Amino acid sequence: MAQSFNIAKVVRIAGREFASTALTKGFIIGALVVPAVLVMLIPLILVLAASAKPPAVSGRILVIDRSGQVFDTLAERLSEESIRERRERMAERAAEFAQDAFGSLGSQVAGGTEAAMDAIQIPKLTLESLGADADVEVAKKLIRDQISGDGPIDPADRVLAVLEIDEDVVVIHEGDEEFGAWQPFFRPKLNNEAVGEIENAVEWAVREQRYADADLDRDRIRAIDRVTQREAQEVTEQGEQKDTSGLTSMVVPVVAMVLILVATFTGGQYLLTTTIEEKSSRVVEVLLSAVSPMELMTGKIFGQMFVGLSLLVIYNGIGIFALIAFSITGVVSLSLVVYFFVYFVLAYIMFASMMAAIGSAVNDLREAQSLMTPVMLFSMVPYFFFMPVIRAPNSTLSTVMSFIPPISPFIMIMRIATPETVPGWQIALSILVNLIAVWFLLWFAAKVFRVGLLMYGKPPNFRTLIRWVRMA
Amino acid sequence: MQSGELAIEMRGVRKTFGNKVAVEGIDLEIPKGSLHGFIGPNGAGKSTTIRMIMSILFPDRGELSVLGKRSAVESKDRIGYLPEERGVYKKMKVGAFLHHMGRLKGLDAGVSLRKRVDEWLEKIDLPDVSKKKCEELSKGMQQKVQFVSCVLHDPDLVILDEPFSGLDPVNMRLLRDLINEQHQQGRTVIFSTHVMAQAQQLCDHIVMIHNGKKVLDDPLDVIRSRHRPESVWFDPIDGSGVDRVARIPGVTGVSVVDGRNRAGFDGSIDPTEAVRVLADAAPMHGVELHRPGLEDIFISIVTGNDLSADDKARLRAELRGTGGES
């Protein structure tokens, strides 16, 4: 049957579809306000995460120092002032690093880091030496008794750890090749910060004593140890710039793929919902008196495509703004942006066709779930394969997957975004294969759409859908 | 009839859904400017026939032309259609919805369209709803809005599928007047109903459909004259009157219908003669010839004498609109 195709009506349908989806409070909040608020909240989240850490630990640490050389240095190292001083120095260094790396934006990050450091409280530890000949079992029994004992114990009295340090930990016995060791026995469920602090302090103290015993200058050894690297540079035609290989080979491909996926499924999901809504509110036959099913479906698909596109334009805009803010250039080329939109349109139309077919076939969203499962599986494939594809963009696996619609657009955009060159014929072929798939899926969807819209009652399965295609 | 004068023409149209034959070999000629009623019980095939006229469904076999075109698709903007399965965009404002439908029907946007929408809303007694969301309207109000969306663009052909279902008596009368107005303005109007009384009040031509087949297609007055009265209502002064009437030669039986006595008679008595004979037989408050309605005609056509009294009662209830909507 010959079908008229009135472009003005299609545009009209698309316009309503776009307006009723994108110009609503829900969409604007979901698509714009929520991400913006999240970004602004990052420093606050850092602080909150830090302050959510367990309260400062206080208690006793019993040391059996059989060497007799470590305890004093260790006690000094774990004193409250010493710990505070170290923390402050660490915060300063983090702030400097952030400033260097991110410029003006970095100072905000640095502010967050400092606030986070302030929020962590300093543990109060009392060190007690049990002498060189103490029995470790007796000391351990103290912890055990405290745990099994009734009644509360003053936090300052709690034994947090027993440290047993070998006699030859600083000076090697004659004939031996290695130094002695040390062993901590902790109270159960002691928090990680405290454990880390204690372990680092013992290491520090032992090493200090070894340097002294060997008559070595500690500062000199540290200077020898430190090899400083200046910021990596890429030499390009325009001159030198920051090394962006990490960004181009990992971040950009994944972000491009995820953006296309998000936009495709946002548009697709809305298409499914509005189609079901039109069917269940019975407005669809009223519409069919004015437009043909093909005009209706095309209008709806295009309307939601512009919803997806506006998301992409906004998010890309933010992304490009961020790159400029971090003064990173040359990461995203114009051709990449063009391919990005080409592959989005291809991916979107394929998934939107499936969504339109499903939406027209069912009576409510719940019934759509079972038909949606295979579609959702397709959408997960790019996530499973992004690692192997990014690592080896021209491997057999990557190449083969580039020609399998409907996942092909997601794979191709990742390959194109990596620094490696994808052969031109592969890009052309993948676009061709996708165009064929687009044509087939639109044809299939149009058939299902025409029949499904007026079918109420029992939800269909795939066999029914294929019967409808034959029928239409 | 010249096909140029026909709004709709159908020849041997058949439509099946799987094994079920929905419409079987329907021939139909609907002249321009007429007011046609499609009647028949629920599931008779009325909506399927209408959907084929609208090119929403396509016939398996047969030919069809609408406003001189091979299908309604080519003249959609000249047709106004109120489907049986109808609805509105719930979240859309009434004015915006009508504006949208008007645009889809080919009207130009602008002041004139907005004015036209406002005028129509005034006409259906809903002058203040333009800025309200459709979901805030009652079902009956929504139905009137849908009627407006169907006639807003001044179509040549108006097709209304069960337009009265769900309306209260006041709005039923309003809608009846609006349909009459469309007819008087020279438009071709087709409407379907399973409630015979509505067709009787409105139409000048009746198409009866039963089990997917056309069983009657005549002007209302022709149908009336063909089906002459075969019974008389009577109201005797005392109880013995009923027995006396039953004994009159030619009277086939006396029954109580809707709380009134009705005497049936065979072909041996002329209807006017029957009234006189009954009045003579016993003292009466009144005697009245019973003119068969579409309901009776329909039941006699489709059932003959094959149906049990219970089934007839059920069918009658459905044809009066009390048997439930579908």
Domains and their CATH numbers in chain B: 3-219 (3.40.50.300), 228-290 (3.30.70.100)
Report chain B residues touching chain A, CB-CB < 8 A: 51, 54-58, 71, 73-74, 76-77, 79-83, 85-92, 100-101, 103-105, 146, 149-150
Mean of pLDDT values over B42-66: 88
Residue B173, both tokens? 């009368």
Contact B89 A13 (CB under 8 A): no
- How many whole angstroms from its chain centre is CA B36? 8
- Tell me the whole-structure pTM to 2 decimals: 0.73
Q: What stretches of chain B adopt beta strand conformation (E)?
A: 6-17, 20-31, 35-39, 61-66, 79-82, 157-161, 188-193, 205-210, 213-219, 231-236, 251-257, 260-265, 284-290
Helix (H) or strand (E) holding B71: none
- How many whole angstroms from its chain centre is CA A223? 37
- Residue B261 half-sphere exposure toward CB, CA atoms < 13 A: 21
Cis status of the peptide bond prior to A406, with omega within 30 of 0: yes
Mean of pLDDT values over A52-80: 86
Contact B56 A283 (CB under 8 A): no
Inform me whether the pLDDT recorded for B108 exceeds 50.
yes
- Chain B residues with CB inside 8 Å of A12's CB? 100, 103-104
Contact A281 B54 (CB under 8 A): no
Pair A285, B85: CB distance under 8 Å:
yes
Reference B86, options B31, B156, B148, B21; nearest CA is: B148
Mean of pLDDT values over A432-457: 88
What are the CA-CA distances from residue B6 to residues A452, B58, B161, B250 (Å)? Answer: 32, 20, 20, 46
Q: Strand B35-39 relative to strand B188-193: parallel, antiparallel, unpaired?
A: parallel
Q: How far, in Å, CA of B130 to CA of B92, rounded?
A: 10
pLDDT attached to residue A109? 60
Residue B252, both tokens? 């086939």
Smallest CA–CA distance from B146 into chain A, residue: A286
- Chain A residues with CB inside 8 Å of B54's CB? 288-289
pLDDT attached to residue A301? 95
Q: Strand B231-236 relative to strand B284-290: parallel, antiparallel, unpaired?
A: antiparallel
Task: For residue A47, give every residue at least 6 positions away whose Cβ sits within 8 Å of its Cβ, in sequence order, or none.
Answer: A112, A115, A116, A119
A467 vs B131, higher pLDDT: B131
- Chain B residues with CB inside 8 Å of A1's CB? 55, 58, 71, 73
CA angle, A76 then A82 then A85, to 5°: 165
Helix (H) or strand (E) holding B145: helix B139-151
pLDDT attached to residue B81? 92
Burial of A215 (0-12, 13-18, 19+ CB in 10 A): exposed
Measure B51 CA to nearest chain A CA, in Å. 9
Which range is least confidently modeled, A288-292, B144-148, B170-174, B225-229?
Answer: B225-229
Pair A291, A6: CB distance under 8 Å:
yes
Inform me whether the pLDDT recorded for B71 exceeds 60.
yes
Inform me whether the pLDDT recorded for B325 exceeds 50.
no
Inform me whether the pLDDT recorded for B322 exceeds 60.
no
- Chain B residues with CB inside 8 Å of A454's CB? 51, 56-57, 85
pLDDT attached to residue B1? 54
Inform me whether the pLDDT recorded for B145 exceeds 50.
yes
Inform me whether the pLDDT recorded for B301 exceeds 90.
no
Q: Coil, helix or strand for B178?
A: helix
Contact A283 B91 (CB under 8 A): no
Which range is least confidently modeled, A432-436, B100-104, B208-212?
Answer: B208-212
- Chain A residues with CB inside 8 Å of B77's CB? 290
Measure B84 CA to nearest chain A CA, in Å. 9
pLDDT attached to residue A1? 43
Inform me whether the pLDDT recorded for A362 exceeds 80.
yes
CA angle, B297 then B300 then B302, to 5°: 105
Mean of pLDDT values over A179-198: 88
Which range is least confidently modeled, A121-125, A186-190, A274-278, B150-154?
Answer: A121-125
Burial of B166 (0-12, 13-18, 19+ CB in 10 A): middle
Q: What is the pLDDT of residues A225-282, one digit of tens each?
A: 899 888 777 777 767 666 666 667 788 888 889 889 989 998 999 999 999 999 888 8
Mean pLDDT of chain B: 84
Burial of A468 (0-12, 13-18, 19+ CB in 10 A): buried
Task: For residue A233, give every residue at least 6 positions away whose Cβ sits within 8 Å of its Cβ, in sequence order, or none.
Answer: A240, A241, A242, A243
Q: Which of A4, A20, A282 sits opposite B86 (nearest CB)?
A: A282
pLDDT attached to residue A101? 59
Q: How far, in Å, CA of A101 to CA of A80, rounded?
A: 32
A324 vs A189, higher pLDDT: A189
Could you tell me the maximum CA-CA distance found in chain A, to the nearest angstrom? Answer: 101
